[in-house]
C-alpha cells in the first residue's frame, strides 16, 4: 500500500522525508512517495483511493481547490478553507480535510509560545493558504485581522468569505504595506520569497519588538522577508514547523496515531539536514 503527495511541480516536497520517518518508527507497512500529476489524472487517483489501491494522499499546489469537486465529504475546516490537502477513504466515502491552518496555529503556539486570543493579525496574501489559516484563527478568538493582497478581486473574495464569521476583518493597502500599530503577528502566506532577491517590504514603524514575522515558506530557510525582520530585531519563524505539524495531523487521520513532540523534532532534524 502507498501514500502520495501530489502536485505539479512536486520534486521540492519534503513530505516523503517527514512521513517515512514516522512510518518507519511505528512499523507501518506503507510507503509514502511524491507523484507529479496532470489535472486530467486527478479523478483516476481518487478512484484508486476509493478502490483501496492507495491509502491516501496529500495535495499541494495547484490542486488543493480543484480536488474538492471529487470529494464525497469534507471537514468543516476544508469547507471554510475551500481547499483540501488530505484525502482518505472511510465508510465507503472519500473524505477531504485541510490540515494547513491547524499546522500553522500549532507551530506558532508551540515554537513561539504565542497565545492568539485577542491578538492583532496582519496577513499578506489571499490564496489557499490564507483561507486555511484564517479558518483556524477564527476558532482562536483573535482580535482584528488585516489582509493585504496584490490582486484586489482575490482580496475582496477572501474578506467577503469570512465576513459573516468575523466582522473585524479588514482590507489593507498593498501598495504601502503598513501593519497597524501594535500588530502582534505578520504572516506571509504567499510564495513570494522562494526565489533569491524577492523581498516583501513592510513599513515596520509602530510595531513593537514582540511582533512576530511568520513566513509559510520553508525553502529557503530564511526568506528576504524574514531576514529583513530579523535585522530589525523582530522575532521570526519560517514554514518548516508548520509543514511538519500539518503532516502530523494528516498522519493521525490516516493511521489514528497521535504523534509526540519528539516525533515532530525527529522529522524536523531530518528536514534541516535535507534543506
Q: Output DSSP code: residue 191.
A: S
Q: Write the DSSP string, 120-148.
A: -EEEE--SHHHHHHHHHHGGGT---EEEE
E strands, the chain, are 2-7, 31-36, 56-59, 73-74, 86-90, 93-97, 121-124, 145-148, 169-171, 185-188, 212-215, 235-237
Beta bridge partners of 4: 33, 57
CB under 8 Å to 123, separation ≥6 — which residues?
130, 133, 134, 145, 146, 147, 148, 186, 187, 189
Which residues form the catalytic set?
A: 64
The Cα 105–Cα 114 span in angstroms is 9
Residue whose grid cell is 499541494: 60
The Cα 9–Cα 60 span in angstroms is 9
For residue 171, the SS3 value is strand
Amino acid at each position: 500500500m502507498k501514500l502520495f503527495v501530489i502536485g505539479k511541480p512536486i520534486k521540492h516536497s519534503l513530505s516523503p522525508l517527514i512521513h517515512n520517518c514516522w512510518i518507519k518508527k511505528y512499523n507501518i507497512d506503507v510507503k509514502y512517495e511524491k507523484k507529479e500529476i496532470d489535472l486530467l489524472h486527478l479523478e483516476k487517483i481518487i478512484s484508486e483511493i476509493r478502490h483501496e489501491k492507495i491509502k491516501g494522499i496529500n495535495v499541494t499546489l495547484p490542486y488543493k481547490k480543484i480536488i474538492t469537486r471529487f470529494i464525497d465529504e469534507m471537514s468543516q475546516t476544508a469547507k471554510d478553507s475551500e481547499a483540501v490537502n488530505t484525502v482518505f477513504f472511510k465508510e465507503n466515502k472519500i473524505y477531504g480535510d485541510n490540515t494547513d491552518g491547524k499546522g500553522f496555529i500549532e507551530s506558532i503556539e508551540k515554537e513561539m509560545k504565542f497565545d492568539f486570543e485577542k491578538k492583532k493579525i496582519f496577513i499578506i496574501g489571499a490564496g489557499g493558504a490564507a483561507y486555511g489559516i484564517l479558518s483556524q484563527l477564527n476558532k482562536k478568538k483573535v482580535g482584528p485581522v488585516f489582509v493585504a493582497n496584490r490582486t484586489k478581486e482575490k482580496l475582496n473574495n477572501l474578506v467577503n468569505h469570512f465576513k459573516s464569521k468575523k466582522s473585524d476583518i479588514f482590507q489593507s493597502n498593498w501598495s504601502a504595506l503598513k501593519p497597524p500599530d501594535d500588530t502582534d503577528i505578520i504572516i506571509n502566506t504567499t510564495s513570494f520569497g522562494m526565489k533569491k532577491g524577492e523581498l516583501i517590504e513592510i513599513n515596520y514603524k509602530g510595531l513593537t519588538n514582540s511582533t512576530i514575522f511568520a513566513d509559510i515558506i520553508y525553502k529557503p530557510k530564511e526568506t528576504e522577508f524574514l531576514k529583513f525582520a530579523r535585522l530589525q530585531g523582530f522575532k521570526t519563524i519560517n514554514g518548516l514547523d508548520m509543514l511538519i505539524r500539518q503532516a502530523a495531523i494528516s498522519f493521525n487521520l490516516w493511521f489514528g496515531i497521535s504523534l509526540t513532540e519528539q516525533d515532530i523534532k525527529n522529522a524536523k532534524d531530518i528536514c534541516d539536514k535535507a534543506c
